Amino acid sequence: MNRSSRRESALIIFFRAGLSGLMSAATRFILFAALLINPAASIAKEASLSAHIPTAGRATLTAGDLRLTFQQASNSVRVASLFDLRQHQELLATNAPPLFSLTLREVSTKQEVRLTAESGWRTATLRKKRSDLSLRWENPEDERLQGILVNLSTVPDRHNSALHWKMAVQNESSRWSIWRVQFPQLALADLGESAAVLFPRGPGEEQKRVWERSFRYRGSYPGGWCSMQFMAAYRAGPTPTGLYFGLHDPMGSTKDIELLGNPTNRSVRMVFDVPAPDMGKAGNNFTLPGEAVWQLLRGDWFDAAMIYKAWVKNNARWWPRLGKSGREDSPLWTRELSAWALGGGAPGDCVPKVKSFQQFLGVPAGFHWYNWHQIPFDNDYPHYFPTKTNVAQGVSELRQANVFVMPYINGRLWDTLDRGSEDFEFTKAALPAASKRDDGTPYTESYGSKETNGQPVRLAPMCPTTSFWQQTVSNLVLRLMNEVDTSAVYIDQVAAAPPTLCMDAAHGHPLGGGHWWNEGYWKMLEAIRRAMPRDRMLTTECNGEPFVRWFDGYLTWHWQHDGQVPAFPAVYGGALQMFGRAYRGGATKDLALRMKAGQQLVFGEQLGWIDPGVVKEATNAEFFRRAVQMRDQHRRYFYAGEMARPPKLLGDIPKVKADWQWSGEWWVTTDAVVTGAWRLPKDKRLVLLFANVSDQFVTTTLRFDAKAYGIRAKRIRCAMGGDGAAKLDSQRRPPRFEERLEFAPRSLQSLELTW
């Protein structure tokens, strides 16, 4: 640019600033004189001014193949584009929601108002630094909200084509409290006919064609129906694209995760909705726990799980220490167990059946013993002692029969009428430690059980941060292990039910949101593990992830949904043991049993959690026994190894469908042949698992590529095991091969590869 052109540019700057009305007459005169003398310096001055004067425009940030574009106005900033540069595809839907939404509550009136990234502000600014962007919203239009401002920043990760977000909300108001923060929010465009979404219900669930139908998933994290902190939308195949959408919070703070399919404009909306710590207190600030991550996804659910696993292993507070044999703080019997029976009552009602169950399987078994106590189930908690007569003797008899006993207790609830229909100790002892609403009353829950007067049992969730509740649970666990000599204790609901938003300031934790709920249980469980005998284990219900480090096993009985994929085992396989499905009745119960047992096998779970009377069902018993024995044969993969990508079989694989009876009729469809893969990288071993759960022969082709499993070898030795008609010789093969396989009805196969 020559001197004349610089002067013209400077004059344009001058008139733009003058017309904006932001300069006094004296300032305009001084700047005009400066323009004539030194236009270059004036341009620099304008650049400095632009950092403080919001102007309309666009800003772009590129992270590898991912390009993010913002549209800025004087009082708002919105995401205008999220673009896959390699595939030349726009990922952002046309109806994208605001990047964030704040819910504020006035303390005195409980009135709520909302501010978003696109409305409610007088000023919004965007600054691009060397490699990142910072965004700021301030001066709310509503004068009552003065003192509220929002800061966002996003940093590109070029190597992974990812954007990492941080957020802070400053609240200097003496009247208003930050109640909830929805961030990030994003709507993705239709990615094509083969596209799918992944969300964290149970083990992970994949749903297809969500852009074309009304679909809603909302889960409260952490809990069994919202087990991890990420979702994904993707199109696999020859032109893969998609987005990993995660909130990498190393403390596992309370949050809701939502996914909405909208067929009207063919979009999928993803949201993290976070209750603020100290919600209800005026002047509370908010910092996003961890960081939000948007990352281009070149693959499917398994690739999304690997992104999350890489973060979890290096950052999550709950990741356990692993050795050569996996969780070495868990007893070896815990890690090697392959089957579980479920039952209860007095010893005479269950001990002989469980012994027969173990003898039939021919391998060690676990027994989950319910109703070992004299109080009714889900009633009069936590007054479990005394036991029914001779329970300790029954435990001893089962131990001698190679059965490990795990009795039930609830680690979360106290009955508000805890002696029949009488308030025995709840009000005088437990109420101060119960979790409270903002009006001071305790939360209560009912599960179908009745008091002696016929009223529903109302159980109060207890606040895990209180020393009273921590000591109560600890005493129960240690009495069972030391007095009754049980091998384990099952502490119900800890990883199943999401946190309550306790508002009792006397407990000493932040009100409502935050990660204090997890920390309360961590402290409780840490103390129990220090005090209990070294050869015992702890388990809990479902698979909310923040407790993995403190439990040896998770009861995955609720993994019952159509479209399930083993994303949770892909992340946590080897970090703890997963066991159990609810095996139920119905007209298709035999097929449902095979579907569940086959899926358990390939997912890496310990099989069963089943009525020991299954041994009398000739067909079902035999299939179940063979599945258990196959798992036992390969058991080291499941505790010292890790999940690998399940193999995909070529050709038209038939489907099977059965009523799983989870809640009334509950139809689930899977492939007739379900598959899994587990590896021991240090041992240079990989096993592929196949279960034909159908009543027909299935002929297919296995296409194997060693590179997909991180195998670098010129030749691989293959050995086929199991039953049925599938054949594969044990000669050494090249790292890439195809093999025609035939699976007999109700057959189980394993292909072990070594190099």
Three-state SS across 47-115?
HHHHCCCCCCEEEEEEECCEEEEEEEECCEEEEEEEEECCCCEECECCCCCCCCEEEEEECCCCCEEEE
Whole-number percent of the chain with pLDDT over 90:
89
pLDDT in tens, 16-32: 334 333 344 444 444 44
Query: Across the chain, how many H-helices and E-strands are there?
Result: 13, 41
- Alpha-carbon distances, residue 660 vs 158, 396, 669, 694, 721 (angstroms): 45, 35, 10, 15, 29
Residue 664 has pLDDT above 60, yes or no: yes
Q: Could you tell me which residues come within 8 angstroms of residue 198 by beta carbon, excluding any fewer than 6 positions away?
A: 204, 205, 206, 231, 232, 233, 234, 300, 301, 304, 565, 567
**The total number of residues written for the chain in this structure:** 755
Mean pLDDT computed over every residue of the chain: 92
pLDDT in tens, 284-336: 999 999 999 999 999 999 999 999 999 999 999 999 999 999 999 999 999 99
Cβ burial 126-138 (10 Å sphere, 16+ → b, else e): beeeeebbebbbb
Through-space distance between the first and last CA atoms of the chain, rounded to whole angstroms? 65
Lowest mean pLDDT, pick from 23-37, 71-85, 636-650:
23-37
Coil, helix or strand at residue 241: strand
- Alpha-carbon distances, residue 637 vs 100, 299, 326 (angstroms): 43, 25, 10
**Residue 582 in contact with residue 609, Cβ under 8 Å?**
yes
Looking from the CA of 11 toward its CB, the CA atoms found within 13 Å total: 8
**Residue 119 in contact with residue 113, Cβ under 8 Å?**
no
Residue 356 has pLDDT above 80, yes or no: yes
| Residue whose token pair is 């852009």 | 211
pLDDT (0 to 100) of residue 727: 58
Place 44 in a pLDDT band, splitting at 50, 70 and 90: very low
Output the six-digit token pair for 657: 């469908």
Q: How far apart are alpha carbons 462 and 521 in whole angstroms?
A: 11
In sign, the C-alpha dihedral spanning 127, 130, 133, 137 is negative
**Residue 429 in contact with residue 469, Cβ under 8 Å?**
no
Residue 718: φ, ψ to 5°: -120, 140
Output the six-digit token pair for 27: 């300032």
Place 42 in a pLDDT band, splitting at 50, 70 and 90: very low
pLDDT (0 to 100) of residue 9: 44
In DSSP terms, 274 is beta-bridged to 181
Residue 398 has pLDDT above 60, yes or no: yes
Place 131 in a pLDDT band, splitting at 50, 70 and 90: confident
pLDDT (0 to 100) of residue 723: 82
Q: What is the mean pLDDT of residues 417-435?
A: 97
Torsion on CA atoms 479, 532, 514, 112, rounded to nearest 10: -10
Place 520 in a pLDDT band, splitting at 50, 70 and 90: very high
Whole-number percent of the chain with pLDDT over 70:
92
Domains along the sequence of the chain with CATH: 3-50 (no CATH), 57-315 (2.70.98.60)
pLDDT in tens, 693-744: 999 999 999 999 999 999 999 999 999 999 854 556 667 899 999 999 999 9
Output the six-digit token pair for 109: 């009136």
| Residue whose token pair is 């049992």 | 457
pLDDT (0 to 100) of residue 10: 43
More confident site: 677 or 95: 677
DSSP 447: -
Predicted TM-score (pTM) of this structure: 0.92
